[in-house]
Structure 1
Amino acid sequence: MTIGDYARAILRSWLVVVILAAVGTAGGYGLAKLTPDTYRSTGALLVTSDRGDSTSELVQGSTYVQNLVATYVLLARSELVLQPVIDELDLNTTPRALASTITASAPLNSVVIEISATSRSPRLAQKITEAVMKSLATVVSRDVAPQADGQPTVRLTVIQNADEPRFPFAPSTRNYVMLGLLGGLAIGVAFSVLRAFAWQTVRTRADIKRLTGIPVLGEVVETRRGTRLPAAVLKDRLGIEAESVRAVAANLNFLKVDGGLKSLVVTSAASGEAKSSLVIALGVMIAESSRRVLLIDADLRSPSLAEYTQLDGGVGLTNVLIGEATFADAIQDWGAEGLCVLTSGAEAPNPSQLLTSQRMTDLLEEARAEFDFVVIDCAPLLAVTDATWLGNQADGALLAVLYDKTRTHSLEKVVSAAAFGGLNVLGAVLTRVPRRGVSRYGVGSYGTRAPADGGQRRRKISLRERSRRNR
């Protein structure tokens, strides 16, 4: 994936990213409020040497003290120093646990040791700091520092008393909120990228062309909630739904197969990709041009034409194939003048055997002879091979691709399966395209509209430019 792909993946899931960022921010704020306040008290000790009368001895003593400071910093958190503190303050803890609340440090090139202690009580933090400084000074002078004439050569002097803190240093609500926000954003971005890798879907004509190389005959706009495509097309023949289907029907005229296209199989990669709605709506639009059109429901495993058209599905294709009904008796008029439907008929236990029979081949020949155009609704190509067989009996196949639902790898697999079976995929139709950027004159590019002046301004500029050139 390129940087642009990552950016588009994040933009596609922007709402998830925003929600997770908000959740992270709220979580950080809540955690800050639930975390008990912690106070810190700080004091400082000066390390000096009492030995040295001459300048040379003083310099040597100063260097000697600086070398000892790092050792005393470590000593401040040792059991030798902290156990007396525990005993003095009567703390219910251990030297190791107390050491986790103590911080000792020395500024660079200095002989000052800074001691800090943290506690949930500001007063206790001050007492612990004072006790640690006192204990450290005692341990150094009594047990650690070299002795000369019975006196320690190094002394620790308090130069900054531990103060009682007025405000807690932790938790920092701002830091918690920022960490929560960044954590939520990171999770949201990671989700977006992982979703793009694991669930890449088809959204544009360019996606279909890039993945398959087959032509895209059009984009059928999604209907309003609670309305199916066939009903929307019949209700408003000038609506955006009808216009988008009419554009697909018009583009079928450019598919010349041996002089003309008379029969077509419509299939998809998986179920639920609006192929049956496309079959019916396409039949209505083709019948507009005074052509006799037959729709055949050959999806015997999950038939839907009878449900969508509200026709009687008791007698249909299966009944004709087993000889219980004639072709003429099984077809039913529906929707528009010249449009007929052959429903799936009675449920059959052997759909593949019926669809690959010689009787099915004869039925298709009879249908092509009687009708100007035959549209066959078939089962998804990745599920069964029915569409491959029937597509080879017809003039070709049309692939329904559901906007933002058909996965890219499924589309690649279905085209490979079609090529393996010798199926001639004539084109694809992107179904249920969002209504944004769509006018009553058809589907345009996403998020764009035609100029309000219908292009007159561009034409005037062109004529003006041509006149100038002619002069």
Structure 2
Amino acid sequence: MELRDYLQILHRNWVLFLIATLVGGGAAFGISLLQTPRYEATTKLYVSVRSDAAGISELAQGTSFARQAVVSFVDVVDSSVVLERVIEELQLDTTPEELRSEVSATTPLNSVIIAVTAANRDPETAAAIANSVGTNFSDIVVNTLERPEGESASLVRIETIEPALAPTDAASPNFTLAIALGAVAGLALGVITAVGRSVLDTRIHSSHDIESITEVPVLGGIPQDPEIKKRALIVEFEPRSPSAEAFRSLRTNLQFVEVDSTSRTFVVSSAGPGEGKSVTTVNLALALAGTGAKVALVDGDLRLPRVAEYMGLEGGAGLTDVLIGRAALADVLQQWGNGKLFVLPSGRIPPNPAELLGSEAMRRTIDALSGAFDYVLIDAPPLLLVTDAAVVSRLTSGALLVAASGSTRKPQLAAAVEKLNAIGTKIFGVVVTMMPPKGPDSYGYGSYSYTGKIEDTSRRRGITPETPTERG
């Protein structure tokens, strides 16, 4: 994954990150509320070594010895011999092992001061334990461990310079720290979830995903439009919408394909069903006809035809009648509107679609159409379900593949590309449909709004805008 991929993940999942952070911080706050408050009290002890001599060098040697001895004295603070005395003195209902977990001692580097800290649920008890540990520790070190033989006094002196006082604020739980750590943990979990989901997600979301699996160029992206469910002919009925503008952009890109060829015959297909290939084909045909070009729109899906329904035409007679010699091509071609767009419906569904589409009659039909029209667009079934699209693609200039954002999976698109490459079909490009109008995966038309409201001329043309809700 590249840096761009991670930035897209951050952009795409910022709501997840926000929720995970809030949940993590809230969970940490809730857990902290359930914890029993603990108080800490600290007493400070000063360690010195007495010298009978008054010279500076003797004093320096005593101080140096004290600094070295303090390191060892720290380990004596929570020893059993000290803690047993504390338990007996304070009448505590505990054992030295249990009390040891509540007592700690530290000393700064190159210092003769020992800080003894005791923790307890009761602030008064915490202060009493700290002071008792300090007193008993001093007595054991001075009068037992460091006392010389005989009656002479010990050279080591340990004095309390700051007794422990009952704390007013609990040391734990620390709500601020807990919430901060919980929020960071929640954010980290959210990031891990988003990255893992992105790595495991094989669906196509943007043109970059297509570029990562094939060198076939992306000719255009069509944003998701809820109006398509009501009327499939967006270019005709919603000419100023972002989707219509996207189809015109696709038309412009397609005009630069095969510029030196006299035949511009394209089969339009997809890897699987429900990716918007039929809607893309009919709107692309409308956009091309809008430039004044003569366009033939052929419904080559002889299994589940949709073109005639989308265009509002009678589809009882069409391509199958021409292929079996029952009707002439000119008799079943239907002009759409007042322009130069002609539609060839599929006709009746035959029992052998693949054989008809690969027949010599189909070749003659395509040759006749390509000779009479500037563009010929053939809507074909999905590539991975049946062989129809692959068969008819060999009779055309090449293929256009349709892939749906958030639906088509990368292995499916790669398999469709490989299937066409295996039979020598030229793939002119991929059209990404159902792209989100906004966000990191959008194609750039989400905020397109430059012209004002225009009159819907569909009624004056005698065209019914309603179309079936099912997409091809």
Deviates more, 1:22-31 or 1:254-263: 254-263
Kindly indicate whether the alpha-carbon contact (under 8 Å) linking 2:228 and 2:234 is maintained by their aligned counterparts in 1: no
Which letter maps to 1:77? D
Aligned partners of 2:78, 2:177: CA distance in 1, in Å?
28
When residues 402 and 327 of structure 1 are mapped into structure 2, their CA distance, relative to the original with a 3 A threshold, is farther
Which letter maps to 1:126? A
Aligned partners of 1:49, 1:240: CA distance in 2, in Å?
87
Aligned partner of 1:26 in structure 2 is 26
Aligned partner of 2:301 in structure 1 is 298
Match of 2:424 among 412, 422, 425: 422
Aligned partners of 2:112, 2:356: CA distance in 1, in Å?
103
Aligned partners of 1:299, 1:90: CA distance in 2, in Å?
95
Match of 1:361 among 325, 336, 359: 359
Aligned partner of 1:187 in structure 2 is 189
Unaligned runs of 5+ in 1: 349-353, 438-442, 453-471
- Deviation, structure 1 residue 362: 3.9
When residues 378 and 96 of structure 1 are mapped into structure 2, their CA distance, relative to the original with a 3 A threshold, is farther
3-state SS of 1:44 partner: strand
Between structures 1 and 2, the one with greater helix share:
1
Q: TM-score, normalised by structure 1?
A: 0.75
Q: Which string of whole-angstrom CA distances, capped at 9 and with x for unpartnered residues, describes residues 291-328 of structure 1?
A: 4634325374x76657767889999888998x798798
Which letter maps to 2:33? K
Kindly indicate whether the alpha-carbon contact (under 8 Å) linking 1:388 and 1:422 is maintained by their aligned counterparts in 2: no
Which letter maps to 1:116? T
3-state SS of 1:17 partner: helix
Aligned partners of 2:321, 2:140: CA distance in 1, in Å?
104
* 1:345 to 2:343 alignment: no
Aligned partner of 2:97 in structure 1 is 96
Which letter maps to 2:16? V
Kindly indicate whether the alpha-carbon contact (under 8 Å) linking 1:296 and 1:374 is maintained by their aligned counterparts in 2: no
- Deviation, structure 1 residue 345: 2.9
CA RMSD in angstroms comes to 4.3
Q: TM-score, normalised by structure 2?
A: 0.75
3-state SS of 2:394 partner: helix
When residues 287 and 111 of structure 1 are mapped into structure 2, their CA distance, relative to the original with a 3 A threshold, is closer
Kindly indicate whether the alpha-carbon contact (under 8 Å) linking 1:287 and 1:336 is maintained by their aligned counterparts in 2: no
3-state SS of 1:129 partner: helix
Aligned partners of 1:257, 1:381: CA distance in 2, in Å?
26
* 1:131 to 2:135 alignment: no
Deviates more, 1:277-286 or 1:106-115: 277-286
Aligned partner of 1:7 in structure 2 is 7
Matches for 1:379-458 after TM superposition, within 5 Å: 379-382=381-384, 385-403=387-405, 406=408, 411-412=413-414, 414-435=416-437
When residues 26 and 138 of structure 1 are mapped into structure 2, their CA distance, relative to the original with a 3 A threshold, is same
Aligned partners of 2:236, 2:321: CA distance in 1, in Å?
29
Matches for 1:203-222 after TM superposition, within 5 Å: 212-222=214-224
Deviates more, 1:368-377 or 1:386-395: 368-377
- Deviation, structure 1 residue 180: 2.5
Kindly indicate whether the alpha-carbon contact (under 8 Å) linking 1:294 and 1:367 is maintained by their aligned counterparts in 2: no
Q: Which string of whole-angstrom CA distances, capped at 9 and with x for unpartnered residues, describes residues 242-264 of structure 1?
A: 34334434554444488433542
Aligned partners of 1:97, 1:332: CA distance in 2, in Å?
94
Which letter maps to 1:139? I
3-state SS of 1:357 partner: helix
- Deviation, structure 1 residue 115: 0.5
3-state SS of 2:160 partner: strand
Aligned partners of 2:11, 2:61: CA distance in 1, in Å?
67
Size of the aligned set, in residue pairs, is 439
Aligned partner of 2:73 in structure 1 is 72
Q: Which string of whole-angstrom CA distances, capped at 9 and with x for unpartnered residues, describes residues 71-125 of structure 1?
A: 2211111222223323443444432332222110123333222100112221121
When residues 383 and 144 of structure 1 are mapped into structure 2, their CA distance, relative to the original with a 3 A threshold, is farther
Aligned partner of 1:42 in structure 2 is 42
Aligned partner of 2:455 in structure 1 is none
Aligned partner of 1:167 in structure 2 is 169
When residues 114 and 244 of structure 1 are mapped into structure 2, their CA distance, relative to the original with a 3 A threshold, is closer
Aligned partners of 1:46, 1:217: CA distance in 2, in Å?
81
- Deviation, structure 1 residue 126: 1.1
Percentage of matched positions with identical amino acids? 29
3-state SS of 1:230 partner: coil
